[in-house]
Amino acid sequence: MAEHVKVDPDDLPGLHRWFGVELNNRTWKQLDEGVPNASSSDDERTQLLIGAFASAYHWSQIGTAANRARGEHLISRTALRVGEAGLALTHARRCLALANANPDVVEDWDFGFAHEALARALAANGNLDEAREHLVEAQRITAAVADREDREILQAEINRGEWFELT
């Protein structure tokens, strides 16, 4: 991959953006395909988590608070996939905190994703009552998302994946 990238030291922001997007897309592709899974090796699970962290790092160098919140969401969801519930909870909380602190730069759907990630992470950590509250909030926000396509994407994400005995 790196051998096809021409490094231009005058365009470091461009490189951060490219790697942020590329790593985000690759990580979500693996999550969508259901890999790694319970039968995957420790190395496969670690590589997936590294991809999520790397994407978030690159966005943190050049992105907005919205990009940082989305990176935290990706880390949280990836951490859940690889069995790191405590890590998932930490990053889900960061995601919601970033969205709440920066309502002027995040989209309406960012709040729904933040509550969705937090609900999953709380459920994975055994806090079903608080998880349920965040799931209800994610669903409330989803219903109010202005753009139909964004609303459908968020609803589809809520409808799939592991809910750790919450639903």
Structure pTM?
A: 0.93
Q: What tokens does 36 get? A: 């790694």
Using the predicted structure, report yes or no on whether residue 106 has a pLDDT greater than 60.
yes
The C-alpha atoms of residue 156 and residue 84 are separated, in whole angstroms, by 23
Domain ranges for the chain: 9-159
HEC profile for 94-118?
HHHHHHHHCCCCCCHHHHHHHHHHH
| Average pLDDT, rounded, for the chain | 94
pLDDT at 3: 46
Which of 5 and 34 is assigned the larger pLDDT? 34
Please state the rounded mean pLDDT for residues 140-147: 98
Least confidently predicted of 3-7, 99-103, 135-139: 3-7
Q: For residue 138, is it left (φ>0), alpha (ψ between -120 and 50) or beta?
A: alpha
What local confidence, expressed as pLDDT, does residue 39 receive? 81
| Predicted confidence (pLDDT) at residue 148 exceeds the cutoff of 70 | yes
Q: Which CATH superfamily is domain 9-159 in?
A: Tetratricopeptide repeat domain (1.25.40.10)
pLDDT above 50 for 21? yes
Q: What is the mean pLDDT of residues 58-78?
A: 97
Task: List, as one string, the DSSP characters of the chain.
Answer: -GGGSPP-GGGHHHHHHHHHHHHHHHHHHHHHHT-S-TTS-HHHHHHHHHHHHHHHHHHHHH--HHHHHHHHHHHHHHHHHTT-HHHHHHHHHHHHHHHHH-TTTS-HHHHHHHHHHHHHHHHHTT-HHHHHHHHHHHHHHHHH-SSHHHHHHHHHHHHSS--TT--
Residues with Cβ < 8 Å from 17, sequence gap 6 or more? 58, 62
Instruction: State residue 10's pLDDT score.
Output: 79
